[in-house]
Amino acid sequence: MTTTLNTEKKLTASEARKLFPGLNDKVFLDAACVSLIPTSAKAAIENFLDMALYCRAKDASLHHIEMDKMRLEPIEEAAKLLNVPTKNICLVESTTHGLNIAANTIPLEEGDTILIPDTEFLQVSIPWMKKQEKINLTIKEVKTKDSKLTVEDFAELIDEKTKVICTSSVQWCTGHRIDIEALGKLCKEKNIWLVVDGVHEMGALDVDLSHQYVDFYIAGGHKWLNSPFGCGVMCLSDKVLDTLEPDSYGYLATEDPEGGWGTYFRTPSITPFDNFKFLRTAKRFEIAGTSNYPGAIGLGKSLALVNQIGIRNVEKRIRELTNLLHQELNKLNVSKVTKEDGDLRSGITVFSYFNDPEKDLALANQLLKKKIYISLRYTSNLGGLRISTHYFNNEEDIFKLIQGIKEATK
């Protein structure tokens, strides 16, 4: 039986856990890889598929228009979550999609410099490396020190040629959270474009972009937003909306014609060479054709669930669980990559039990056999066993993990 969601009612994190039946037979501590979905997202997608199956609208044009309207929910919910106007939010296929939009729309010239941390997920650097093949750009690595990255680490590499800083707000192989607010102030002062991969932050930690300077904030839905259906969120600054143009254009990013699209398509005098006016909103940067409706609908319900719990309550719950996890790991005397630095910690905790990648992999495999889902992740020789504690987890999950480690390492 599918559990539905009453969006009028506030939920606690423990109540929300009941919407994740995937937790019933496993300890799932790997939202940083691909997360589980709630039953509310599943039910909404099933309702959409019934609609697509039967086309109950008066005609197919109205059918299509209704589908487009259903994409509005994730935009509204994302705007609420990030505390920004809806005009600054658009939907993308994934973090990869959004990062490529940034790389292909920010104007760059020969000799310009991009700063990227050395512990990034490979997709953060790939678009800029491919851009470098066409233009003689310089990519500088921001070196991670003691598993952390500070604003000073970025600042010391900035010169008059620095045009872009591209970074994840949370580093995937350390769990370290960068002070994006302080980094944004630096970028605004130096007139540097700031591109942020927020995929390990949005939906888990409180992010208020109303007072932070970020030009491109991008988060795929398949991790901490609990919607692995090929749809994510991109938030663009007013500077982007006012000064940049996308590298592709879709007709659904134009202003709605008089009478709507249904009327427009039935008008004999229309021509493909009309003077189309494009919206001055983030939607202009979408592909803006017939889109991934199931993905958007699932994402909308998953975002609504986060807002129903409240992002501050979500972060509070995640911090409670990571605190417990750190306490229990300390008792095991493991080598922790993730530091216990308060606000600079995320829902990701990385450690090594053996200080040996092969032995740690064997331990991960032993835990997976017990249906305790974790990952092993490295970049630039930094990383280890990665645990993700999300709002749908509980203390019992942590204790089962610790017991599993003890049994596997006897």
Let me know if residue 243 belongs to a domain.
Answer: yes
pLDDT in tens, 34-54: 999 999 999 999 999 999 999
Sequence-distant (≥ 6) Cβ neighbours of residue 137 within 8 angstroms:
108, 110, 111, 112, 113, 114, 128, 131
Res 366: pLDDT: 98
DSSP β-bridge partners for residue 374? none
Distance separating alpha carbons of residues 198 and 220, to the nearest angstrom: 8
In the block, residue with structure tokens 């889902």:
373
Per-residue three-class SS string for 251-284: HHHECCCCCHHHHHHCCCCCCCCCCCCECCCHHH
Distance separating alpha carbons of residues 367 and 355, to the nearest angstrom: 17
Let me know if residue 72 belongs to a domain.
Answer: no
Domain that holds residue 364: 13-30+310-408
Q: Are residues 201 and 316 in the same domain?
A: no
Distance separating alpha carbons of residues 275 and 92, to the nearest angstrom: 26
CATH number at residue 254: 3.40.640.10
Q: Are residues 91 and 195 in the same domain?
A: yes
Let me know if residue 356 belongs to a domain.
Answer: yes
Res 300: pLDDT: 98
- In the structure encoding, which two tokens stand for residue 209, read together? 């972009």
Q: Are residues 180 and 94 in the same domain?
A: yes
Res 3: pLDDT: 45
Q: Are residues 104 and 228 in the same domain?
A: yes
**What three-state secondary structure class fits 128?**
helix
**What three-state secondary structure class fits 355?**
coil
**What three-state secondary structure class fits 148?**
strand
- Amino acid 72 reads L
Strand order in the sheet with 348-352: 335-336, 348-352, 382-388, 375-379
Res 6: pLDDT: 57
For the beta carbon of residue 246, count every other beta carbon within 10 angstroms: 19
Q: Report the domain count for the chain.
A: 2
Res 342: pLDDT: 82
Distance separating alpha carbons of residues 339 and 383, to the nearest angstrom: 12
Classify residue 25 as exposed, middle or buried by CB count within 10 Å of its CB (0-12, 13-18, 19+).
exposed
**What percent helix, strand, coil does the chain show, rounded to 5?**
45, 15, 40
In the block, residue with structure tokens 């697509």:
52
Let me know if residue 7 belongs to a domain.
Answer: no
What is the torsional sign of CA 214, 247, 69, 67? negative
- In the structure encoding, which two tokens stand for residue 288, read together? 């803006």
- Determine how β-strand 348-352 pairs with β-strand 382-388: antiparallel
Q: Are residues 348 and 388 in the same domain?
A: yes
Closest CA to 357 of 318, 387, 383: 383
Q: Are residues 178 and 101 in the same domain?
A: yes
In the block, residue with structure tokens 């990869």:
96
Let me know if residue 62 belongs to a domain.
Answer: no
Q: Are residues 339 and 265 in the same domain?
A: no
Distance separating alpha carbons of residues 84 and 344, to the nearest angstrom: 23
Res 2: pLDDT: 45
Of 256, 289, 322, the residue at which a domain comes to its end is 289
Q: Are residues 184 and 233 in the same domain?
A: yes
Res 226: pLDDT: 98
**Are the C-beta atoms of 336 and 314 separated by less than 8 Å?**
no
**Are the C-beta atoms of 307 and 9 separated by less than 8 Å?**
no
Parts of the chain with a pLDDT under 70: 1-8
pTM above 0.85, yes or no: yes
pLDDT in tens, 244-300: 999 999 999 999 999 999 999 999 999 999 999 999 999 999 999 999 999 999 999
Q: Are residues 255 and 340 in the same domain?
A: no
Q: Are residues 152 and 236 in the same domain?
A: yes
